[in-house]
Structure 1
Amino acid sequence: MPTPHESCPTSSHRENCAALNMSDPLAAKHQPIEFAQRFIPAARPRLPDADAVLPYLRRIDAARSYSNFGPLLTEFESRLAGRFEAGSKVVTCVNGTQALTLTLNALDLAKGSLVAVPSYTFVATAHAVIAAGLTPLFLDVDPNDWMLRPETVRDALAWAPAPVSAVVVVAAFGAMPDLEAWKALREDTGLPVVLDAAAAFDQARVAEIPTVISLHATKVLGIGEGGFLATTDAELAARVRQLTTFGFRGSRLSDIAATNAKLSEYASAVGLAALDSWETDRLQFLRAAQMMKVAMTFLPDVQFQPGWGDGWVTSVCSVGLPNGSVDAVEYRLQDQDIHTRRWWDRGCHLNPAFAEYPRGDLSVTETLSRSVLGLPFAIDMDGDDISRVAAALSLALSGR
């Protein structure tokens, strides 16, 4: 009797593939597969092309303003702020890590105090905490949505080796956490909460919790390097702005120790062009994600994040696989010229840079490190490549 992976595709599955203009991965599975095809990268970012950016570059030429909060940056920040609730402020920065660092600095937390962070995140989160003169306290995440829970922080307050002064929550690969629950924790404990929403440009529309978003080239709205803070706290925004510009605040006097982390007019030109095409680009990301999900319908062991490609988009495709299978699957796909990426690797706590920092039980993080893998994904990924990835993943999961 054939296994589920060997059963014939249903007609509805074939119709779905046809509707999305992609080859049927189930049929492909039963054909000889030529893997001496072109290499499929894990990520293939696409920024606005030269023609889209050129009108903004001409505005720079006309204004002869190149940095220091010129007209393009002012417009870029205004358009970004318009995505959030009324009264929200946006402060741009040279990159998302700096934006997170300076936001933590602006909260004026006790130097050296603990900041609760998930270990299951990109290392930039922990680096930002340390750069702000604070100490990361690595905590575990929920096994279902891969994000830190308020209950975990509440429990940690009882055993933490020193006072916890704040929390950084991470939007896992672009999925948003339960913000109401985090606002409740803030109200109950008085702890400031910051949202590291580096990959969540699409879903981040509420700024009552200070929210930091990356504009790196690998993100859905990328400008090369950049990031921004969105917040309804006008004083916090003003202080972060001051920290990005030598401590100036309405004068040429440095009132506080600060840095230079301003975004240039050239980066803003790319950002404005990216915003011009955002609605179209979002639809393209949705289409690519839906094709990926259709291609994987015959692989019950492949689990997508809830809502990925339906309610929200992001620039990566991180999937859950059977526990302990990632090493072998990654090797087999690589052998077939299909590149994968463990975007968050094994968790921050296992990086040498963070080896000495305190942590709680991280059993879920360690399980995720053996079961979550980033598959190839891009805004313009076509049906043939998606079908090839699906067929190769089927073979990899079956041990072939």
Structure 2
Amino acid sequence: MARPQLPTAQALAPYLRRIDEARWYSNFGPLLTAFEARLAARFAPGTEIVTCANATQGLALCLQALSLPPGSLCAIPAYTFVATAHAVAAAGLTPWLLDVDPQNWTLQPHAVRAALAGAPGPVSAVIVVAPFGLMPDLAPWLALRAETGIAVVVDAAAAFDALNAAPLPAVVSLHATKALGIGEGGFLATEDADLARRVRELTSFGFRGARESQMPATNAKLSEYAAAVGLAALDAWPHDRLRWLRAARGLRAAMTHLPQVVFQEGWGLSWATSVCCVRLPDGAADAVARDLAAAGVETRAWWGRGCHTHPAFAGCPRGDLTQTDRLGSAVLGLPFRVDLDHAQTGRIAAALAQSVG
């Protein structure tokens, strides 16, 4: 289904030697500082980067740093990976599951505005999700924040390539399965220096330049070893990005004769990501998955039928989820990896053509 590819031992060796020489292994060492600086260079000047153990922690700590009322509602799309909802719960808030736009699979500001009047409690935040790496337009969300005072955070877990500005705090995953991965890890990008400082403190026991804990916090730092992988991954990123795009365009080209198979807007053309999710006719995903399995082609419903179908979040307040239910029955993850070759692409396309053609 997927074969993640992290930097090789040879690519890591120069960075590991630097760790050996410095004998600094964690706690914001020189490699981590360099890694964060290189990440920051991808954004506009003044953007702060705070690395963390994983993106779920990053989201939870960002919400916690915003000092939102405990138990208040945080609106999230029902169509997202469960990590989004877990982060909300970990921050002491209540996930409020709302429906998404059927075309781009994202929560929309106008939908949040419409839902606010009938909200089942005080609403303090919204998490906007970039589905599988497709970044939404953030300008309307900035307007919503300005109008309502509701905090807005972006779950950009899979959007390393597409995220190039952080007017709203955004959290990116560096999990091994992502286009740029380090094994486990994540980072917050934000133009709010005070927020960055608070999240940094929350990743390090609430320490603020001294060994006195200023607030209840956790330990969510990245080690020098994780930073070594990150630096080597960034070294290879320009080449690897082209490989991801080449693999995606090959898959798109192989399916030009299948109008029933719809790719996300811009997927493999203007942005790179590590998964391929296509929309099929409503209700067809399960049958197509069975057909492809019979042909020896694995598939994955990466987000299942939505957060509301998981026992952990079945009791959360929700709006009408008609579009989420439709997407859950229609979206299917196809095999995809950076080194997907012509034969594998042809096999996937042939199996799909046999099922939906």
What range is the shorter-chain TM-score in? over 0.9
Cα root mean square deviation, aligned: 0.6
Q: Provide the secondary structure at the position in 1 that maps to 2:103.
A: coil
- CA distance in structure 1 between the aligned counterparts of 2:244 and 2:165, rounded to whole angstroms: 22
Please state how far the C-alpha of 1:337 moved relative to its aligned partner. 1.5
- For residues 1-400 of structure 1, what are the structure 2 equivalents within 5 Å? 42-398=1-357
| 3-state SS, counterpart of residue 172 of structure 2 | strand
- How far apart are residue 107 of structure 1 and its match? 0.3
Note the residue ranges of structure 1 that are not aligned, 5 or more in a row. 1-41
- The aligned residue for residue 34 of structure 1 is none
1:271 is displaced (CA, Å) by 0.3
Shift of 1:79: 0.4
Give, in angstroms, the shift of residue 178 of structure 1. Answer: 1.1
| Deviation (angstroms), 1:396 | 1.5
User: How many pairs align?
Assistant: 357
Q: 1:301-338 CA deviation, whole Å, 9 max, x = no partner?
A: 00000111111111000000011111111011111221
For residues 3 and 321 of structure 2, what CA distance do their matches in structure 1 show?
Answer: 32
**2:117 partner SS:** helix
SS for the counterpart of 2:63 is helix
| Cα shift at 1:389 | 0.4
* Pairwise CA distance, 1:188: 1.0
Structure 2 residue identity aligned to 1:205? N
TM-score (norm 1): 0.89
5+ residue gaps, structure 2: none
The offset of 1:190, in angstroms, is 1.0
The one-letter amino acid paired with 2:132 is: F
Larger Rg: 1
Q: Distance in 2 between matches of 1:181 and 1:279?
A: 31
Instruction: Give SS of 1:319's match.
Output: strand
Give the alignment's TM-score, normalised by structure 2: 0.99
What secondary structure is seen at the aligned counterpart in 2 of 1:329?
helix
Superposed displacement of residue 339, structure 1: 0.8
